Amino acid sequence: MIKTPLCDLLNIEFPILQGGMAWVSDAQLAAAVSNAGGLGIISSMNADENWLRQEIHKVKSLTDKPFGINVMLMNPHVDKIAQVLIEEKVPVITTGAGNPGKFIKLWIAAGIKVIPVVPSTGLARFAERAGATAVIAEGGESGGHVGDMATLPLVPQVCDAVSIPVIAAGGIGDGRGIAAALMLGAVGVQLGTRFLVADETNIHENYKDKIIKAKDIDTVLTGKSLGHPVRALKTSFTRSFLKAENDPSTPKETLEEYGRGALRIAAQEGDSQNGCFMAGQISGLIKEKQSAKNIILTLVKETETALKGGLQWVK
């Protein structure tokens, strides 16, 4: 049994969050994770308020456990989404890809727990001052939109910078990673890539197969020149995107246009010519498709083994 203060704070059995992944994390996956004792999180990505409201009603019909909604702050519908989350009284909001400062007080006043993803100590301190419940310190090993810092140096520095609880993310895929995150001072973890291959995840099977087949060096960062680096599996899409990105004659707008929609194509069509398969550096470790429940139970058991066993050469 791994129980940390995060379990009481969020009313969950295990301190494991499933990352809100665009075009991947829907009500079905979130409910499966929450029913298994973790915190399932729906991604509101670029969706509008009507889609989100339906998805919230669906998750409420599938679980009576707490769940979360991830708000991607670059979403053009973000203001309306922020309001729907208050109306629907969602238990937890996580944010990504920007500074949630203008929303935090409103959400907290509505009784919602607010947990921004932060890529630096500066943003962690800002989130704490703005009233956030906790922060997720996410290293650049993650899939999707990433910051500059790696998880190992980021997490202990964020733990020292703030007094609110810190959840670690980025590059965590098994119990050894969870044990390491807890040793760094985190009270919980968020995993994305491991849940991409869950049975309940509604994505094209090609996406899951690509993760299962991936080796350690099979992810790459694209979009650095656009100011929002994105980590994805190496495919013919990322090769041609990087070629265009490294060609000084390519206008930024052309690149933005090229990238837009590519994640939906990966998730729904499994097409590696035109799809962007966002995934973290831990993909190489993930070798098995399992139910969300079995993923959680395996992670918990592995974490207990890692922490209880200690290290044989420490006397």
| Residue found by looking up tokens 């995150």 in the block | 181
**Footprint (CB under 6 A) of ligand TUI, residues 120-139:** 123, 138
Least separation in angstroms between residue 176's CB and ligand TUI is 23
Q: How many residues bind to ligand TUI according to rule CB under 6 A?
A: 18
b/e per residue, 252-289, with b = 16+ CB within 10 A?
eeebeebbeebbebbbeebbbeebbbbbbbbbbbbeeb
Binding residue (CB under 6 A) for ligand TUI from 22, 162, 191, 255: 22
Contacts of ligand TUI in 170-199 (CB under 6 A): none
Residue 278 or residue 295: which is nearer to ligand TUI going by CB? 278
Query: Taking CB under 6 A as the rule, does residue 99 contact ligand TUI?
Result: yes
**Amino acid at site 303:** T
Strand order in the sheet with 219-222: 144-145, 230-233, 219-222
Near ligand TUI by CB under 6 A: residue from 68, 119, 139, 280: 119
Torsional sign, CA 86, 91, 96, 99: positive
Give dist(CA 171, CA 190) in Å, integer. 10
Q: Which of 27, 56, 69, 146 binds ligand TUI (CB under 6 A)?
A: 146
Q: Facing residues of 118 across strands?
A: 137
Q: Which of 228, 264, 289, 293 binds ligand TUI (CB under 6 A)?
A: 228
Is 97 near ligand TUI (CB under 6 A)? yes
Catalog residues that contact ligand TUI under the rule CB under 6 A.
Answer: 22, 72, 74, 96-99, 117, 119, 123, 138, 144-147, 228, 230, 278
